[in-house]
Amino acid sequence: MSQPSESLRAPVMQGFAWKGVSQIFLQGSRLVVAVILARMLSPHDYGLAAMALVLASLVIVFSDVALGAALVQRTRLSDADRSTAFWTSVSVGALCTVLGISLSGVLAGFYGDPDVQPLFAALSLSFLITSLAATHEALLVREMNFRSLEIRMMVGTAAGAVAGILLAAKGYGAWAIIGQQLALSTVSTALLWLLSPWHPSLSFSRSSLRSLGGFSGNVFAHRLLYYLHRNIDNLLIGRFLGPASLGVYGFAYNVMLVPFSRIAGPLTEVLFPAFSRMQHDRARMTAVWVRAVRLVASFSVPALLGLVVVAPDFVSVVLGEKWAGATTLIQILAWVGLLQSLQTLNPNILQALDRTGTLLRYTIVFFALHMTAFVVGLQWGVVGVAVAYLVSSLIVEPLFAWVTTRALGVSPLVLVRGLSGVFQASALMFVAVLATRLLLQEAGVGAPLRLAATVAVGILVYVPCWKWRAGDAFDELKAFRRRPHKRPTALALEPPV
C-alpha cells in the first residue's frame, strides 16, 4: 500500500494548500461583502433576494445531473463518457433555464409578491451558464488539479463581490444579490473553459449515458432531496411569514450555517477523488476520514460554540441594530451548523464506496424528518422553525455518522474517540468565554470592547487546550505548513498502526 499512499499524498496536500489559500480569500471576502451589503440593504431587500435564491442551490443540483460525481468515481473514462456527460448537462441546463423563466410568474404568485418575478427569471440563466462548465470542473477534480479550480473560484468571487456592491450602491436593492450570483457564475464558467485542457467533441453515446447514469441516478436524487431540505424552510417562511421574516432568517442562516459548513467543503472536494482511488482499502479510508473530520471539528466546534456566546455583541457591533432579530436565530443555528459540519464528508465516503443506494435511503429519512420539523416549527414563527431544525438535526446527524461507520465496517466509537479531545478543549473555551462576557457585562463594558475581549480570551484559552487535549490534530495542522515531501503525518493516507 505504500506506493498508492505516496502517489496520493502529493496531490492531496497540494490540493489542501490551494484550498487553504482559496478559503482564506473566499470566506474573508464573503464575510466582508455580506457585512457591506447588510449595511446597504434592508431586511426586505434580503427577503426578496432570498425568495429568488431558492433557485441558487437548485442550479448546482441540475448543473451536471450528478454525472460529474460519476466521472470522478469511475476508474476509467473514455472521451465518449466525457462528451456525453457534457452534452447531457448542457441540455438539462438549457431546459431548466427555459422552465425557470416560464414559471417565474407562478413562483412569484406563490409568494404573493410580483417583485420576485424578474429576480427569478434573471437567476434562471444560471442553469445554462453553470452547466457549460460542470463537466470541465468534474474532470479537473478527477485530476486533482485544484490550482486551476481555486484560481477561477477566487476570481469569480471577486467579480461577484464588485458587481453586488456596485448594484447596491446604485440603489438596485435585491438586484445587488442576484447580480452578484450571476457575475460569479459567468466569470467562473469562462475561466474553467480557459483553464481546462479538455473540450467536448460532437459525440454522444447512449451506452455511456446508461453506464454513468447507473451511479449518478441515486446521487442526483440525494442532491435533489438535500436541496429541498435546504430551501423548504425558506419557502415556508417566505410564503406564510413574509419577506421581512425571511430576510432575518435567511441572513442568520447564511452568516452562520453556510460559512461554517464550508469549513469542511475544501476537504470534501479534495478527498472525494482520493477516497475513490482508495475505495478498496477501507482501513485507509477510515483513517483519513476520522483525521479529516477531526480537523474540521478543530475549527468549527470552538468557533460555533464561541459565537453562541458572543452573538448579541456580534450582531450589535458588526451588523447593526436593525438586525437585532437575527441574534437568537444565530445562536440556535450555530448548534445546527456544528452538527452538520461534522458530517460533511460522509456523502463522499458512501459515494466512493459505491453505496449510493444507502445514501439515498438515508436522505429520504433525513428529508422527511426535517420537513416535518419545519412545518411544526412554523407555528411559532422563525424562532420556532430554527428550534425545530435543531431538534431534527439532533436525530438525523448522529444517524448519518452511524450509517457511514457501518458502510466502512467500523464502530461509531472510532469517530467519538477521534473527536473527544477537540470537544474537551472547546468546552473549556466555552466556559472561559461565557464567564468573560458575563463579567464584562456586569462591569458595564460596551459591546465593541466586550466583543474584542471575549474573542481574544476564546483564542488564548482554546489553542493551548487544543494542543493539550487534541495534540494529534495540532501536529497534523502544523504539518500542512510544510512542503508535501516533508509532511509524513498530515492526513497520512495510511491506517493507524
Any idea which of 103-107, 181-185, 211-215, 263-267 has the lowest mean pLDDT? 263-267
Q: Given this model, what pLDDT does residue 408 score?
A: 94
**Cell for 3?**
506506493
Residue ranges covered by each domain of the chain: 41-221, 241-497
Alpha carbons 260 and 239: distance in angstroms, whole number: 27
> Between these two residues, 48 and 332, which has the higher pLDDT value?
332
**pLDDT over 50 at 68, yes or no:** yes
Confirm if 392 and 402 have CB atoms less than 8 A apart: no
Confirm if 154 and 25 have CB atoms less than 8 A apart: yes
Over the stretch 235-253, which tens digit does the pLDDT of each residue have?
888 888 888 788 888 878 8
Over the stretch 430-465, which tens digit does the pLDDT of each residue have?
999 999 999 999 999 999 999 999 999 999 999 999
Mean pLDDT confidence for 356-385? 94
With vertex at residue 319, the alpha carbon angle to CA 316 and CA 320, rounded to the nearest 5 degrees, is: 55
Confidence band, pLDDT 50/70/90 cuts, at residue 56: low
Region of 65 please: left (phi>0), alpha (psi -120 to 50) or beta.
Answer: left
Task: Express the helix, strand and coil content of the chain in percent, nearest 5 each.
Answer: 85, 0, 15
